[in-house]
Amino acid sequence: MTNYEYAKQAYAALGVDTEAALTKLATIPVSIHCWQGDDVVGFDGSDAASGGIQTTGNYPGRARTPEELMADIKLAFAQVPGKKRLNLHASYALLGADKGKVDRDAYRPEHFAPWVRFAKEIGLDGIDFNPTCFSHPMVKEGLTLSSPDKEVRDFWIRHCIASLRITEYLAKEMGKPALMNIWIPDGFKDVPADRLGPRLRLKDSLDQILAAGYDKDLVVIAVESKVFGIGVESYTVGNNEFYQNYAAKNDICCLLDNGHYHPTECVSDKIPALLAFYDKVALHVTRGVRWDSDHVVTFEDELKEIAKEIVRSDATDKVLIGLDYFDASINRLAAWATGARNMQKALLYALLCPHKMLSSLQDKGDFTKLLVYQEEIKTLPLGAVWSEYLARQGVKDLDWIDTVLAYEKDVLVNRT
């Protein structure tokens, strides 16, 4: 008997069909961020991320050009099973002859045409997009869409509207709806004198962006809240309450980044709360260590809980799963692939849980048996099913790291 056959029987004893789980897993898209490959720098002029986000480490091999980033994405994504989308930021525009002439408020779809060609070439399931409202001279006093300076607000409103057109284009080209997620760094280091004014200005800016109109069959707009950032410790304009109410009243979507809440809050618990009201919920799956540090996603409890909530709420088509981490202290391709593989593994873990049986124990009030089963399930032979999935997807098991390290030796070390 193979390991997989043994595992299949072990799960079947609990009423779980491993074949159905493997089939389902291969249909769930995960949007993988482009920004792990170059430390969130982009190609439009900045030399480091700013605005409360920060990469630490200087491991050799950062992608410095679109060609390098695409080559790295191709190799890193090939180590990840499942349906993959690409998550782009506006700062990754390929401006060509427009470089230095066209600013972010005038980026056009054609500046992203090479990304479409690339995504098609490597068989991706779609492209998602983000306006880049940070790492730019028009971020004034740390503010963008909430700035008291109308010129600043207008610049970022135009940027978000330009991004909307680009997102529509990406969706149309890829033949798949796309997410456009708005995150802004706006906030204050010290106790503000006015907490309402900036929020009213942000509300008005968002209203103006939405008033530009967009094709709702092609684009889902999300807003991403945050509790605090480095340098903006005292106040964040776009906090959770602001955006949840804004999204609800304007029929857009909330994006939950699990690094953006107080440390004892769980995004896993927020997902079903939002699903009670929203058709779509977007995620940035990350791992915060003590703060929103964006460490590589590992196979830890909250990741499993997030995956379980998506699967047992029958919401794999409602929850838009995206990744958001960036580690510059280790091989960046290994970082990318590790986090993305873990997201897939957590979804598999969730698909292999006997949810109906467990929830009926809850409904019957049999909390003793519920606890016992939930604990026993943790050590079922997940690894054998995972290996089977990798084999069926044509993706390497543990030895994938050898491929990445060979690439480091041949290619990455020459980027000095």
Residues 324-353 that bind ligand RNT (CB under 6 A): 324
Distance, in Å, from the CA atom of 51 to the CA atom of 99, rounded to the nearest integer, reads: 23
Q: Considering the rule CB under 6 A, would residue 72 count as an interface residue with ligand RNT?
A: no
Binding stretches for Zn ion (CB under 5 A): 257, 284, 324
- Asked if residues 259 and 231 have their Cβ atoms less than 8 Å apart, the reply is no
Residue 217 in tokens: 């069959």
Give the residue among 21, 80, 135 at the shortest CA–CA distance from 297: 80
79 vs 181 by CB, closer to ligand RNT: 181
- Asked if residues 381 and 3 have their Cβ atoms less than 8 Å apart, the reply is yes
The least CB distance from residue 235 to Zn ion, in Å, is 19
Say which entry of ligand RNT, Zn ion, none residue 327 contacts (CB below 5 to 8 A, set by partner kind).
none
Rounded to 5°, the CA angle 125-162-38 comes to 55
Ramachandran area for residue 188 (φ above 0: left; ψ -120 to 50: alpha; else beta) = beta
62 vs 226 by CB, closer to Zn ion: 226
103 vs 324 by CB, closer to ligand RNT: 324
- Asked if residues 252 and 223 have their Cβ atoms less than 8 Å apart, the reply is yes
173 vs 224 by CB, closer to ligand RNT: 224
* Secondary structure (3-state) at 57: coil
Say which entry of Zn ion, ligand RNT, none residue 130 contacts (CB below 5 to 8 A, set by partner kind).
ligand RNT
Residue 385 in tokens: 């099913």
* Identity at 303, one-letter amino acid code: L
Distance, in Å, from the CA atom of 17 to the CA atom of 196, rounded to the nearest integer, reads: 52
8 vs 280 by CB, closer to ligand RNT: 280
Say which entry of Zn ion, ligand RNT, none residue 292 contacts (CB below 5 to 8 A, set by partner kind).
ligand RNT
Q: How many residues bind ligand RNT (CB under 6 A)?
A: 11
- Asked if residues 34 and 356 have their Cβ atoms less than 8 Å apart, the reply is no
Q: Considering the rule CB under 6 A, would residue 40 count as an interface residue with ligand RNT?
A: yes
Residue 137 in tokens: 């001279």
For the annotated catalytic residues, the residue numbers are: 183, 224, 226, 257, 260, 284, 292, 294, 324
Residues 196-235 that bind ligand RNT (CB under 6 A): 224, 226
Residue 183 in tokens: 């995150």
Cα dist. 232→189, 285, 374 in Å?
4, 22, 40
Say which entry of ligand RNT, Zn ion, none residue 156 contacts (CB below 5 to 8 A, set by partner kind).
none
Residues 41-70 that bind ligand RNT (CB under 6 A): 53
Say which entry of ligand RNT, Zn ion, none residue 226 contacts (CB below 5 to 8 A, set by partner kind).
ligand RNT
Residues 244-303 that bind ligand RNT (CB under 6 A): 257, 284, 292
Name the residue whose CB lies closest to ligand RNT.
Answer: 183
What residues line the site for ligand RNT (CB under 6 A)?
Answer: 35, 40, 53, 130, 183, 224, 226, 257, 284, 292, 324
